[in-house]
Amino acid sequence: MDVPKTNIAVNDLTFSLFQRPLHPELFRIFARRHLKTERYEMMLWATGCSHVVSVFTGGVCLTELISAPGQLLPRRGLIERFQFRGQKTHKCALSRGLSYMTDFQVEKMSANLYRQSQLDLQRFARNRGLFVAFSGTTPEGLEPFSYIDFEARREELHIHAFHAFADQMTIIKTQSLFDLRG
């Protein structure tokens, strides 16, 4: 598999939230999932050690993404943008009964903990979620990877993402909730 650009400093990555869909040609998509329920539709793309999640409901679209510096993104529809530094929680309520919340943290770890996290997440991915490992390893034998899990409920969509940067022995953990009850 192609190696995504993972030698980017984690705190240079950007988290963005858009009130619009984004075109797939803007990204290098390594894996994807599509989900359609009675109340909403979800598009999930693993875009290297990052992701794009779009949720469509009642004529509204909300898209969250993690992107590298220099990623070409539109300005139209941008609600929020910030960099990964420390821990952060963000909430917003949109019109038409859709609200959103995300929480993320950046965790630096030892080589042993990184390796064990990768093994655990690969095991979880056998039953659910999306796991993508990328070739190219560090001297410690570690490789970059992404694990994205989702739980679809009638009026909620939960996303749990883990993006691992082997050269920095760092994992970005995000949890997002798309709530259709407003």
**How far apart are the C-alpha atoms of 36 and 97, rounded to whole Å?**
18
What burial letters (b/e) apply to 155-179, b meaning 16+ CB within 10 Å?
A: eebebebbbbbbebbbbbbbebbbb
- Mean pLDDT for the chain overall: 90
Q: How confident is the model at residue 6 (pLDDT cuts 50, 70, 90)?
A: low
Q: How far is the CA of 57 from the CAs of 20, 63, 96, in angstroms? A: 11, 12, 9
Q: Over 60: is that where the pLDDT of 93 sits?
A: yes
**How far apart are the C-alpha atoms of 87 and 100, rounded to whole Å?**
17
Q: Over 80: is that where the pLDDT of 76 sits?
A: yes
Q: How confident is the model at residue 182 (pLDDT cuts 50, 70, 90)?
A: low
Tokens of 182: 């407003």
Q: Is 30 helix (H, G, I), strand (E, B) or coil?
A: coil
Q: Is the pTM of this model over 0.85?
A: yes
Q: What is the pLDDT of residues 40-57, one digit of tens each?
A: 999 999 998 899 999 999
Per-residue pLDDT at 115: 92
- Per cent of the chain over pLDDT 70 is 94
Q: How many helices (H) and strands (E) does the chain have?
A: 1, 12
Q: How confident is the model at residue 4 (pLDDT cuts 50, 70, 90)?
A: low
Per-residue pLDDT at 86: 74
More confident position, 134 or 5:
134
**How far apart are the C-alpha atoms of 160 and 164, rounded to whole Å?**
13
